[in-house]
Amino acid sequence: MNKKANTVAFGLLPVFALAACLAVIITFFQYDSSMSGSINDVSSTIRNADFNYYNILSIAQTAMVSASVNGISKESFSKAANGLNSHIEGQGNFFLLIQKGDFSIYMDGNRYVLDMPGLYTGYSSNNLKIIRPVGAMEFDAKGQFIRFINK
């Protein structure tokens, strides 16, 4: 074997190792800083989607409580709910279903069920979009929310 070639190869080995380590460290820090914006976008979109989901639940409950004063019916619920439309992005098709009359309210034992087939909420931002289906909702006679009913 050629001793001079081995000496040069072993002499350059630490230089290449140091260069590789520096490249990995630089890539790590660049990758981390570029991902923080994306992670914040995802987190913000999830929070907004959750807000819209619970906002619709709150609007439905408030409308049911309001409707319960004169007896819960499709008409009294529609009137009460339409007065609560705050035009927030991400409310899904809740108010559209109410305007079209594509929902039903019926008694199940001593509880009311608000059934809005195809109801969803969601939120979108940049390239992210979350759509969350909402099941039928069960309320007591005073209009207080009890639970979701998955069909």
The DSSP letter of residue 70 is S
The mean of the pLDDT values for the chain is: 84
Q: Report which of 120, 107, 34, 20 is spatially closest to residue 71, judged by C-alpha positions.
A: 107
As a three-state string, the secondary structure of 80-145 is HHHCCCCCCCCCCCHHHHHHHCCCEEEEECCEEEEECCCCEEEEEECCEEEEEECCEEEECCCCCE
pTM: 0.71
Whole-number pLDDT of residue 9 = 64
pLDDT at 44 over 90: no
Which range in 43-47, 57-61, 82-86 is most confidently predicted, on average pLDDT? 57-61
Q: How does pLDDT run across 63-116, given as a tens digit for each residue?
A: 999 998 888 889 999 999 999 988 877 788 999 999 999 999 999 889 999 999
